[in-house]
Structure 1
Amino acid sequence: MSDNSLSVFLSRLDFAWITSFHILYPPLTIGLAVILFFFEWRWVATNDERWYRLARFFEKLFIVNFGAGVATGITMEMAFGILYGPFSQAAGPFFGQVLGYETITAFMYEAGFIGLMIFGWGKISKKMHLFATFNVALSSSFSAMWILVANSWMQTPAGIVFKHGVFQVTDWVAALFNPDVMYGFPHMLVATFELALFFVAGVCAWFVLKRRNVTLFARPLRFALLALVVVAPLQVYLGDGLGATIAHDQPAALAAMEGHYNTYNKDGSVNTGWHILAWPNAKGDGNAFAITIPHVLSLLETHSWNGKVEGLNSIKPQDRPPVVVPFYSFRIMVAAGMAMMLVAFWGGWLALRRRLSADTIAANPWFLRAVTASAFLPYLAVWTGWWTREVARQPWIVYGMMRTSAGVSHMSVPLEIFWLVGYMAFELTVFGGTWYFLAKIIRKGPDLVSPVAQDGHQALGHIEEPAHHEPGKPEYLRPA
């Protein structure tokens, strides 16, 4: 491997490391902000203290995760200039504008309300605080939108010309609403909701398993599972739509994701088999082995029995992406998505049988263990989905227009290694600290004794107590 090839590889590896860690945090920030708004809205609407306690507890987890997302996000912005200087200069007329829009409509917008959300309890009115939480949720979603607009443009560039080494915007509407973003953004946004719902469900299931504050956590667990009955299949549907877009606009990427080399069989018929498992051969023009189901690839991508799907062998060798990473990442993502949908349906079935109430939910230990373990699945799906998306685009940094090798900074190999080691150390430190504090907050549990914030002051809440319970304590404070 030449020094130039090694430098390109290290730049890609470095940025892959940075983005793989950063993407762990924003999805939870976005989805959890929406859930916090729901909890607080229910408190304001019903004056039920339990919703307030839940909002304050999960807000602590939100703050830790939000801080990690900001720290790693700033690092990623810095890495663009350090690792991909030529690309940053070339794509500046579009990329810079989009990131500027994100700064105005997300960062600055969010900064105006997140302080009120975190520190405004008991200092501003309940409705004003609810309004602040709503705006934090909305601005977080705007951030995801602009990031996906920028990334989708790299996948399916539109509304630009590449002239004199610079991407010049000729049609802002076409550039912003490029083909990939129409499914790419909804797919990612719903992923944030799915991740946050599983996170909340996993935390609540853990408390119920431990028989800690069962009455308090049974309700949000039930709500999260019922929401997932809708969200999980919706995510599968959006993923199918995104797959059709990739098949149309990025045939090489789709072929790599499916390990699909030959458009036609030897007899001239259309090759429509879908590989469950496969491994490319040494020549890179086929699979050394494959476990294949006939016609399924055509059904998935063209929704017909013998629809044609372009294979890698019809793509110039220098334009073909790697196969192993997108192939297996895609399958792990799909498997995680199917597993989450099954857990959601399991929860929906239990809800129909009235087995998710505070009195009955603890009698389903295996389900609660499955929900707790499933909190990891959306992280795995987001991770592998992002790897699929980014690796399958190679060797292009802007698909079909600018190669990754032309977009990386011209640094020496030792300097590349220096940045790689530095970024690895930083990301691992943030990762370790984040999960340490998240685990610490969860183990400690919610604050159930501090005064409940009211309009502009602190006041003790009041919950009606059943006569058969110990007087002086709200029901959800007592052990199950």
Structure 2
Amino acid sequence: MFGLDAFHLARIQFAFTVSFHIIFPAITIGLASFLAVLEGLWLKTKNPAYQDLYHFWSKVFAVNFGMGVVSGLVMAYQFGTNWSGFSEFAGSITGPLLTYEVLTAFFLEAGFLGVMLFGLNRVGQGLHFFATCMVALGTLMSTFWILASNSWMQTPQGFEIQHGVVVPVDWLAVIFNPSFGYRLLHMTTAAFLASALFVGASAAWHLLHKNDTPAIRKMLSMALWMALIVAPIQAFLGDMHGLNTLEHQPAKIAAIEGHWENNPGEATPLLLFGIPDMDEEKTRYALKIPYLGSLILTHSLDKQVPALKSFPKEDRPNSTIIFWSFRIMVALGMLMILLGAISLRLRIKKRLYHSRPFLWFQLLMGPSGLVAILAGWFTTEIGRQPWVVYGLQRTSDAVSAHGDLHMSISLITFIVVYLSVFGVGYLYMMHLIKKGPRQGEGNHTAEGGPGRAHTPARPLSAIQEPLDFSNKRQ
């Protein structure tokens, strides 16, 4: 397929499925906590706008949760089908970590999800709020275990290699490896920020279409407070993560910077623009700012950043890709900070809900959090190459022995099925968002229950909306 062998097709397939999957957990993490906050505010203030928002976003959450579970299961199977070498080598660590995720996070979410989606009129308000909080906690616990596994692949420790396979000797060291804390905070904050921008864009769309209600205004206000506070925090966490990466994965930093060689006694410049050429070993059309690379990456004006030429060719990540994926992530982060700052100025001037240029800006920024997450993951995962477990196992040694034709058919099938199934799911979610929260919606929750007309059996049963993709708002 396109002249690619089975190894590269397997990498593309995993990248494709994980890129689809990561969008859903990111929104699930943010929305679960948002729902807990909304219900808590409603119980405290009795403001019906919070109740209407809770019921509105619980529908979107149900769709997103369902798609996240399905896409995650499919992705997990690839460890055995396409990456059996990795499973054999490191399965004694990654297997238990993913099992802990199921036993703690997934079981917790599954146990309370039904109460959260269908139990408001069947259990007390306090117990229902507790169920919502447990679902939110479950999403955070899931993040904990997934990031523990992935971070160990980036900065492995707490193991021995016996008979050619990894054997854990210190589980605390395995879990709390050197990059885990930074990556956990960075990813969790990214999920909150992406969800806030998603919520804010939904509110902006309704305000631009003259749907101005107290619930819509609350939605926009809460989203922009999150952007104002969290976006600068995310930039700080990103800087800390970068320093950690420089310590443990210097080749990745060199590739991110497109930095090929150091001149004796000269500080490292920052390349704003350029096209890294892996064959020629240089960055073409480089636009440099002297000293700034050293200042950002080492917090000094004289220390040098490791250069790509100091690493063997076979150990260098592909700078051409991650040079730009990193800059896309940073540029979007700067726009998020700008969005929060402008929102504060408009809030003070009492024009937050009336400035159409700003509402358009917020609407266009809606997908920016998800795009930034994808760009960050591309940077992290491609920057780890050519290792699947950094410094221990090369990606080429981890792939299963499949033929080129087999992998081509498999990849094409995944693309067709994913675009069809999740494309419909995405359109349905956008359809729900266009409807918007309806006043008094929380007072008409279906009773359900055994022997009654409606007995919910799955998350999507909570929606009760026809599959109608017309643009007419109801």
TM-score (norm 2): 0.91
Structure 2 vs 1, CA of residues 353 and 280 (structure 1 numbering), >3 Å: closer, same or farther? same
Aligned-pair CA distance for 1:435: 1.6
Identity %: 38
Q: Are 2:416 and 1:420 aligned?
A: no
Residue of 320, 324, 327 corresponding to 2:320: 324
Structure 2 vs 1, CA of residues 255 and 451 (structure 1 numbering), >3 Å: closer, same or farther? closer
1:110-259 to structure 2, matched below 5 A, reads 110-259=109-258
Q: Is the 8 A contact 1:86 1:406 kept in 2?
A: yes
Give the corresponding residue for 2:389: 398
Residue of 343, 347, 352 corresponding to 2:343: 347
- The RMSD of aligned alpha carbons is 2.0
Q: Hey, what's the Cα distance between the residues in 2 that align with 1:190 and 1:280? A: 30
Aligned-pair CA distance for 1:449: 4.6
Q: Is the 8 A contact 2:52 2:442 kept in 1?
A: no
Give the corresponding residue for 2:287: 291
Instruction: Report the AA paired with residue 284 of structure 2.
Output: A
Structure 2 vs 1, CA of residues 134 and 290 (structure 1 numbering), >3 Å: closer, same or farther? same
Q: Hey, what's the Cα distance between the residues in 1 that align with 2:308 and 2:99? A: 37
SS of corresponding position for 2:191: helix
Structure 2 vs 1, CA of residues 282 and 15 (structure 1 numbering), >3 Å: closer, same or farther? closer
Q: Are 2:430 and 1:431 aligned?
A: no
Instruction: Report the AA paired with residue 307 of structure 2.
Output: G
Q: Hey, what's the Cα distance between the residues in 2 that align with 1:383 and 1:451? A: 35
After superposition, give the CA deviation of every residue in 1:84-105 in whole Å (9 maximum; x if it has no partner): 0110121111101100110011
Aligned-pair CA distance for 1:37: 0.7
Give the corresponding residue for 1:98: 97
Q: Is the 8 A contact 1:81 1:88 kept in 2?
A: yes
Q: Is the 8 A contact 2:277 2:320 kept in 1?
A: no
Q: Is the 8 A contact 1:39 1:52 kept in 2?
A: yes
Q: Are 2:88 and 1:89 aligned?
A: yes
Give the corresponding residue for 2:358: 367
Q: Is the 8 A contact 2:278 2:318 kept in 1?
A: no
SS of corresponding position for 1:124: coil
Structure 2 vs 1, CA of residues 293 and 389 (structure 1 numbering), >3 Å: closer, same or farther? same
Aligned-pair CA distance for 1:325: 0.8
Q: Is the 8 A contact 1:7 1:412 kept in 2?
A: yes
Give the corresponding residue for 2:400: 409
Residue of 320, 334, 341 corresponding to 1:338: 334
SS of corresponding position for 1:452: helix
Q: Could you list the runs of 5+ residues in structure 2 that have no partner in the other structure?
A: 449-474
Aligned-pair CA distance for 1:447: 3.4
Q: Is the 8 A contact 1:15 1:79 kept in 2?
A: yes
Instruction: Report the AA paired with residue 203 of structure 2.
Output: C
Aligned-pair CA distance for 1:450: 4.5
Moved more, 67-76 or 414-423: 414-423
Give the corresponding residue for 1:46: 45
Q: Is the 8 A contact 2:203 2:217 kept in 1?
A: yes
Structure 2 vs 1, CA of residues 75 and 282 (structure 1 numbering), >3 Å: closer, same or farther? closer
Instruction: Report the AA paired with residue 109 of structure 1.
Output: L
Instruction: Report the AA paired with residue 329 of structure 1.
Output: S
Q: Hey, what's the Cα distance between the residues in 1 that align with 2:411 and 2:81? A: 11
Q: Is the 8 A contact 2:106 2:142 kept in 1?
A: yes
Q: Are 2:432 and 1:441 aligned?
A: yes
Q: Hey, what's the Cα distance between the residues in 1 that align with 2:28 and 2:436? A: 20
Give the corresponding residue for 1:309: 305
Q: Could you list the runs of 5+ residues in structure 1 that have no partner in the other structure?
A: 458-480
Q: Are 2:309 and 1:300 aligned?
A: no
Structure 2 vs 1, CA of residues 451 and 300 (structure 1 numbering), >3 Å: closer, same or farther? closer
Q: Hey, what's the Cα distance between the residues in 2 that align with 1:377 and 1:229? A: 15
Instruction: Report the AA paired with residue 281 of structure 2.
Output: D
SS of corresponding position for 1:23: helix
Aligned-pair CA distance for 1:187: 0.1
Instruction: Report the AA paired with residue 339 of structure 1.
Output: L
TM-score (norm 1): 0.90
Instruction: Report the AA paired with residue 104 of structure 1.
Output: L
Q: Hey, what's the Cα distance between the residues in 1 that align with 2:442 and 2:93? A: 50
Moved more, 389-398 or 438-447: 438-447
Q: Is the 8 A contact 1:49 1:452 kept in 2?
A: no
Instruction: Report the AA paired with residue 400 of structure 2.
Output: S
Instruction: Report the AA paired with residue 415 of structure 2.
Output: M
Give the corresponding residue for 2:467: none
Structure 2 vs 1, CA of residues 307 and 451 (structure 1 numbering), >3 Å: closer, same or farther? closer
Q: Hey, what's the Cα distance between the residues in 1 that align with 2:205 and 2:24? A: 21
Give the corresponding residue for 1:12: 11
Aligned-pair CA distance for 1:219: 1.8
After superposition, give the CA deviation of every residue in 1:131-163 in whole Å (9 maximum; x if it has no partner): 100000000011111111111111111111222
After superposition, give the CA deviation of every residue in 1:195-238 in whole Å (9 maximum; x if it has no partner): 11111111111111111143221122112211221100000000
Q: Are 2:272 and 1:276 aligned?
A: yes
Q: Is the 8 A contact 2:269 2:293 kept in 1?
A: yes
Aligned-pair CA distance for 1:384: 0.5
Q: Is the 8 A contact 1:162 1:401 kept in 2?
A: no
Aligned length: 449
Q: Hey, what's the Cα distance between the residues in 2 that align with 1:450 and 1:289? A: 57
SS of corresponding position for 1:354: coil
Give the corresponding residue for 1:109: 108
Q: Hey, what's the Cα distance between the residues in 1 that align with 2:401 and 2:172? A: 33
Instruction: Report the AA paired with residue 93 of structure 1.
Output: S
Aligned-pair CA distance for 1:190: 0.3
Q: Hey, what's the Cα distance between the residues in 2 that align with 1:255 and 1:27? A: 28
Aligned-pair CA distance for 1:302: 0.3
Give the corresponding residue for 2:459: none
Q: Hey, what's the Cα distance between the residues in 2 that align with 1:279 and 1:248? A: 25
Q: Hey, what's the Cα distance between the residues in 2 that align with 1:419 and 1:270? A: 50
Aligned-pair CA distance for 1:428: 1.3
After superposition, give the CA deviation of every residue in 1:92-128 in whole Å (9 maximum; x if it has no partner): 1110110011001111111000011111121111111
Q: Is the 8 A contact 1:148 1:181 kept in 2?
A: yes
SS of corresponding position for 1:432: helix
Aligned-pair CA distance for 1:277: 1.2
